[in-house]
Amino acid sequence: MEVLTVQTDIKERLGRISQLVGNTPLADISVLSPNPDVRILAKVEWQQLSNSVKARAAFNIIKHAVENGEIHSGRGLIDASSGNTAVAYAAVGAALGIPITICLPENASSQKKIALHALGATTVLTSKFGTTDEAQQKAKELAMNHPEKYWYADQYANEDNWRAHYYGTAQEILYQTNASITHFVAGLGTTGTFMGIGRRLKAENPDIQLISLQPDVAMHGLEGWKHLESAKVPKIYDAELANDAFFIDTWEAYEVLKKTAKETGLLVSPSAAANIAGAIKLANTITSGTIVTILTDHGSNYPEILNEIFN
């Protein structure tokens, strides 16, 4: 009876936490558009639990794992992440009383490590030379060796990652734009955001154009993004979904970050700025339309980078 009571309590908490995930505002940042006939709109994703877009995937992954009995108060979640997904897992786990273990490279940002510690997550550090690919392998090994202790979420292969956006973010975009969206632009990391939103938009209107974004080089400064030619490609990624692909230079994104702050009042993260840079590139190539992109998280999460950009 005790296990049943605990599990029921977790499910009740899930219902309350769900009110803190999603339903983010859509900001009109058309002042940045080089074409007066092209609107640029952006989902302000830091206005939810854990202050990033990753709240959606983390919550959906944990929710379904709880419902399926994969995790509970005695068996926690383990996964690899050096960024916002890690913090999102930790935030949801703390609210539910579920143990969270995160494998991440030792050179991950100090801000993320501090946030994970504050939220009660356990961290397992891997080599700074191995990126998140090595961290993924470590998480998988720990889960295999200790199945009673860990459930391996594997965000790069978990279908609940992209489904969070298929049933959530995309639906919000369609409602907020009154289905007037003509183009969607977003960067690729786990690829869950692009896959989920893109699939739903295409299901609603096949004429909507999807443009994926990647860093232009393997060594870049866009946290959470993957240069797919040099990285392990996520299993949930479908290369056939995008209508086109743009490559974004890190320093170009930094310049857009400065421009966005000065002209819109929004202090966005480097990856959010890169999404805006992609939208601006697209606006230069079309005659009219409504572009929607994602402001993944807030610039204040990256004090060292902001200091470099603005000084």
- pLDDT tens per residue across all 311 residues of the chain: 344 444 668 878 899 999 999 999 999 999 999 999 999 999 999 999 999 999 999 999 999 999 999 997 789 999 999 789 999 999 999 999 999 999 999 988 888 899 999 999 999 999 888 778 889 999 999 999 999 999 999 999 999 999 999 999 999 999 999 999 999 999 999 999 999 999 999 999 999 999 999 999 988 989 889 999 888 899 999 999 999 999 999 999 999 999 999 999 999 999 999 999 999 999 999 999 999 999 999 999 999 899 999 98
Q: Which phi and psi (to 5°) does residue 241 adopt?
A: -75, -45
| Domain span holding position 139 | 54-152
> CA geometry: angle at 175 spanning 171 and 179, to 5°?
100
Looking at the domain assignment, is residue 7 inside a domain? no
Which neighbouring-strand residues pair with 248?
215
Judge if 175 and 235 occupy the same domain.
yes
pTM of the model: 0.94
Q: Say yes or no: 177 and 29 in one domain.
A: yes
Please name which of 146, 124, 144, 145 lies closest in space to residue 135, comparing C-alpha atoms.
124
Q: Each residue of 83-99: b (16+ CB within 10 Å) or e?
A: bbbbbbbbbbbbbbebb
**Judgement on whether residues 242 and 119 belong to the same structural domain of the protein:** no
Rounded Cα–Cα distance for residues 25 and 46 (Å): 10
Tell me the β-bridge partners of 43: 26, 294
Q: Is residue 143 in a domain?
A: yes
Give the per-residue pLDDT at 98.
Answer: 92
Which token pair is 227?
A: 């240069």
pLDDT at residue 172, as a whole number: 98
Contact 89, 119 (CB under 8 A): no
Backbone angles phi, psi at 247, to 5 degrees: -115, 135
Is residue 48 within 8 Å of residue 25, measured between CB atoms?
no
Find the helix or strand (DSSP H, E) in which 246 lies. Answer: strand 244-248
In a domain, 256, yes or no: yes
Q: Where are the beta strands (DSSP E) in the chain?
A: 26-28, 38-44, 76-80, 100-105, 122-126, 150-152, 183-187, 209-215, 244-248, 289-295
Residue listed under structure tokens 């379904």 = 64
Spatial contact of 250 and 261, defined as CB atoms under 8 Å apart: no
User: Any idea which residue has 């995790």 for tokens?
Assistant: 71
Q: Does 146 share its domain with 196?
A: no
Q: Considering its fold, how many domains does the chain have in total?
A: 2
pLDDT at 21: 97
Is the domain of 66 the same as that of 24?
no
- The type of residue at 207 is D
Q: What is the DSSP letter of 168?
A: I
| Same domain for 298 and 199 | yes
